[in-house]
Amino acid sequence: MHDIESVIWDFNGTLIRDVDLVLHALNPLLTRRGMPRQTVSSYREIFGFPIHEYYERLGFDLAAESMEDLSDEFHATYMDGLPACSLYAGVENTLEAFRARGMRQFVLSAMEETRLREAIGRLGIADYFTAVYGLSDLLAVSKVERGRRLIAEQDIAAKRSILIGDTDHDAEVAGALGVTPILVSQGHQTPDRLGQTGCRVVESVSRVPLLLS
């Protein structure tokens, strides 16, 4: 952990605080279908990737409704609220600390890439990143293939890289890419769920530089 050259960041729930916004967008979908609303606690216990499997766990009938339509319905509210979401405390200091060490930093997100770039620009942190990789649609299926392109196109040495995320999918992506995962427990999944991955789990992004010192 002392020779890290590259840092790959997840975005939602890792850099930005958007759990409340997700519930604000999700619960109306549930209410309109007579399904139980989610709390922050219940959401963090069952959320996961791919998103269509999470929706099935919630009780959506994807044989009767398309995931594309549900995603559009969700994002109509989510994207309107995204500009009000802030960075987690300590994020900018951590980004600056990594830059001061000469590390290259990237974003790898399940968010649609154009909207991802817009959000990063609004937050004023675009200059920290060598490149930003999102997905081509709103369906948030998996980041693995996009991550492989990131590794190849940016000539990243996987064994000298870390991936910082907030879900068990981030651990899966890191494993597929051959990079070391570090998971933060302030985002979209509980510490217990993250701990089941066997990966290093910290309570906040600001703790990560201490692991590399």
Cα(27)–Cα(150) distance, integer angstroms = 34
**Which of 84, 104, 134 delimits the end of a domain?**
84
Do the domain assignments include residue 1? Answer: no
57 and 159 part of one domain: no
199 and 142 part of one domain: yes
CA 122 to chain centroid, in Å, comes to 17
Expressed as residue numbers, the domain containing 43 is 19-84
79 and 106 part of one domain: no
Query: What sign results for the dihedral spanned by CA atoms 193, 194, 198, 200?
Result: negative
Neighbouring CB atoms inside 10 A of 4's CB total 18
64 and 143 part of one domain: no
**Which of 84, 112, 129 delimits the end of a domain?**
84
**Does a cis peptide bond (omega within 30 degrees of 0) precede residue 50?**
yes
Neighbouring CB atoms inside 10 A of 155's CB total 8
pLDDT: which is higher, 213 or 191: 191
10 and 96 part of one domain: yes
State the CATH number of the domain containing residue 120: 3.40.50.1000
- Residue 213, pLDDT score: 76
77 and 113 part of one domain: no
Tokens of 32: 């309109």
- pLDDT band at 139; cut points 50, 70, 90: low
148 and 193 part of one domain: yes
Cα(95)–Cα(77) distance, integer angstroms = 29
131 and 73 part of one domain: no
Structural Rg of the chain based on CA atoms: 17
Cα(70)–Cα(155) distance, integer angstroms = 37
60 and 141 part of one domain: no
**Which of 67, 84, 101 delimits the end of a domain?**
84
Sheet holding 6-9, edge to edge: 131-135, 104-112, 6-9, 161-165, 180-184, 200-202
For residue 14, give the nearest of 180, 201, 192 by alpha carbon.
201
pLDDT: which is higher, 1 or 98: 98
Instruction: Give the pLDDT confidence of 110-119 residue by residue, as tens digits.
Output: 999 999 999 9
- Residue 2, pLDDT score: 72
Crossing angle (nearest 10°) for helices 67-81 and 51-58 = 100
Instruction: Give the pLDDT confidence of 35-59 residue by residue, as tens digits.
Output: 999 999 999 999 999 999 999 999 9
167 and 144 part of one domain: yes
Instruction: Find out whether 46 and 58 touch, Cβ atoms under 8 Å.
Output: yes
93 and 181 part of one domain: yes
- pLDDT band at 136; cut points 50, 70, 90: confident
DSSP letters along 133-148, please? Answer: EEESSSS---SHHHHH
| Percent of the chain whose pLDDT exceeds 70 | 97
